[in-house]
Amino acid sequence: MSHTHATTPGIVAHRGLSHAHQELSLAAYEAAFALPIDGVECDVRLSADGVPILVHDADFSRLSGGADKRLIRELSAQEAAREHGILTLDEFLSLALRYPEHRIYIEFKQAGRNEDLALEPAVVKTLIRHGLRNKAAERICFISFSPFSLHRAKQLAPTIPRIYLRPEWFRWANPMDFLPRDYAGLGVSIERAKRRPQLLYRQYLPSYVWTVDEADDLLWAAENGADFIATNRADLACEVFDLK
């Protein structure tokens, strides 16, 4: 199947090319950066020694097949790398700098606890260290399920666009979908978008749809106005939309 370029959304490799490699790994990102897509997404938490590292869950259970139930914040960045192959944000950005045509979507995790207040400052300092802050509007986008995290990020780096990912419970807490207008975009899951397509163009803001891994769903999202699609199957998206 193919799709016209006129309506092709930006394809974002969710945790790299994660269907073919360990998510958030060097191999997953090397494969994703080789594709003609809009950008790549990464999840960031802090290690025990305060280093931003790329990991999704709050503990190592899923990565270890249930063998390691320790929390992410219990291991140093070096220990996490040695035991589970976890990348630091520094390492990821060093790779990303070799592919300037790709955007970088950084998702803040672990929002809500007092110790998490250090996450956004650590990420912004890392961006500055790599010389990315001045090019932030072109290359970097912050995303999160936490409006508090995005607010803290705005105070630290006001020029970096922010996308709010609306969680599933949001439909009950905010049925009218009232949101601040200073976000660069609004996110919604493919499941919820298919139940309520009008969420894709609320407040005339760009829409970011996750996680879209089936060809039919990729086409549906594009045809219903998705501006950006996060997918574990970025290679499939390239086939569906005839990206070369």
Q: What is the mean pLDDT of residues 22-39?
A: 97
Residue 2 has pLDDT above 60, yes or no: no
Q: What is the pLDDT of residue 209?
A: 97
Q: How many domains does the chain have?
A: 1
pLDDT digits (tens, 9 = 90+) for 203-231: 678 999 999 999 999 999 999 999 999 99
CB contact set of 61 (below 8 Å; sequence gap of 6+): 68, 69
Q: Note the pTM of the prediction, 2 decimals.
A: 0.92
pLDDT digits (tens, 9 = 90+) for 57-80: 999 999 888 999 999 999 999 999
CATH at residue 12: 3.20.20.190
Residue 133 has pLDDT above 80, yes or no: no
Assess contact for 178 and 199: CB atoms under 8 A: no
Which residue range(s) make up the domain with 34? 5-240
Residue 169 has pLDDT above 80, yes or no: no
Q: What is the maximal distance between C-alpha atoms in the chain?
A: 48
Average pLDDT value over all residues in the chain: 89
CA 164, 167, 171, 173 torsion: positive or negative?
negative
**What residue type is 127 in one-letter code?**
L
pLDDT-based confidence at 166, cuts 50/70/90?
Answer: confident
